[in-house]
Amino acid sequence: MKAQRVPDSNLKVAVKPTPATTFRLDGKVVAVTGGASGIGQAIAECFAANGAQIRILDIDVRHGETVAREIVEGGGNASAIGCDVADQAGVARAFQEVFRNERVDILVNNAGIAHVGKLENTSEEDFDNVFSVNVKGIYNCMHACIPHMKESGGGVILNMASIAATSGLADRFAYSMSKGAVVAMTYSVAKDYLAANIRCNCISPARVHTPFVEGFVRKNYPGREAEMFEKLSESQPIGRMADPHEVATLALFLCSDEAAFITGVDYPIDGGYFKLRG
């Protein structure tokens, strides 16, 4: 199978979102955490192209504002707020800023960080860092949004998990732990807030070609970037990584009214990773 080359750091995704006639989000306000880069950026662009008003919450407010500005320049509605999802008080303040003017219909909990290592080379600090962003960050955002969604008649929550959640990726101890918790939180919230008309699902992508992957390959495998990139591409039977916009299209469906019957589900988007290996 032909491997992908290691891209340069100025990653540009090839596929652009196409406005669809179904799965429209007109009039809906969508909060996207981690919307300044990668999958979150693709979700912000895709949802905006389908009528949503985007509120990006990202620790990297400069890139968040750039993404929002590009959406606005393209005729959409978007803004960005600086926010560390690991900080509960900061998250509450960021959402209060949004709630002052509008209701949030859809929350996409996408912000996340990577960590490479087995249990023995995962320090307590690494463990806490991964947990505080990937697990507590999602709890914090749902904690801020659920009372508001209940009061305003319901909503949709979509969490970004990973194939690591249920397959326990090699050399990704803390990361796999954190994504397992994302799936469990998704099921729990879906069950507890069914009566409040809140749907809650998660997506589990295999490798997606984003700065996240480039960053951890560069940091953890210096000098072996091309080899690792090829290995990561080939771990999907389909022979490549996903494009972030492919994940965004699934997210759009799950957050649209067409998916009204779907809640409490972990959706793999994995290039055959789970079922077609071996």
Q: Tell me whether residue 80 or residue 156 sits nearer to ligand NAD (CB atom).
A: 80
Q: Which is nearer to ligand NAD, 33 or 50 (CB)?
A: 33
Instruction: Report helix, strand or coil for 81.
Output: strand
- Of 30, 32, 36, 48, which lies in the binding site for ligand NAD, with binding defined by CB under 6 A? 36
Task: Give the interface size with ligand NAD as a residue count (CB under 6 A).
Answer: 29
d(CA 5, CA 15): 17
Q: What amino acid positions are annotated as catalytic residues?
A: 175
How far apart CA 65 and CA 57 sit, in angstroms, is: 10
Binding window for ligand NAD (CB under 6 A); candidates: 34-42, 123-131, 250-258, 270-278: 34-42
Q: Which stretch binds ligand NAD (CB under 6 A): 16-24, 70-78, 186-194, 202-210?
A: 202-210
- Are residues 99 and 92 in contact, defined by beta-carbon separation less than 8 angstroms? no
x/- track of binding to ligand NAD for residues 46-75 (CB under 6 A)? ------------xxx---------------
Rule CB under 6 A: say whether 115 interacts with ligand NAD: no
Q: Report the half-sphere exposure of 168 (CA within 13 A, side-chain side).
A: 3
Tell which one of 80, 213, 248, 251 touches ligand NAD (CB under 6 A).
Answer: 213
* Residue 28, phi-psi category: left (phi > 0), alpha (psi -120 to 50), beta (remainder): beta
180: contact with ligand NAD by CB under 6 A: no
Decide: is 207 part of the binding site for ligand NAD (CB under 6 A).
yes
What residues between 119 and 158 interact with ligand NAD by CB under 6 A? 133, 137
Integer Cα distance of 189 and 185 in angstroms: 6
Kindly give the residue spans of alpha helices, DSSP state H, lying in the chain: 38-49, 61-73, 88-99, 124-130, 136-151, 164-167, 173-192, 211-220, 225-234, 244-255
Q: At what angle do helices 61-73 and 38-49 cross, to 10 degrees?
A: 30
Which one among 50, 122, 140, 162 touches ligand NAD, defined by CB under 6 A? 162
Q: Which residues, in sequence order, are CB contacts of 227 under 8 Å at separation 6+?
A: 221
Residue 39 in the binding site for ligand NAD (CB under 6 A):
yes
Binding site for ligand NAD (CB under 6 A): 33-34, 36-40, 58-60, 83-86, 110-113, 133, 137, 160, 162, 205, 207-208, 210-213
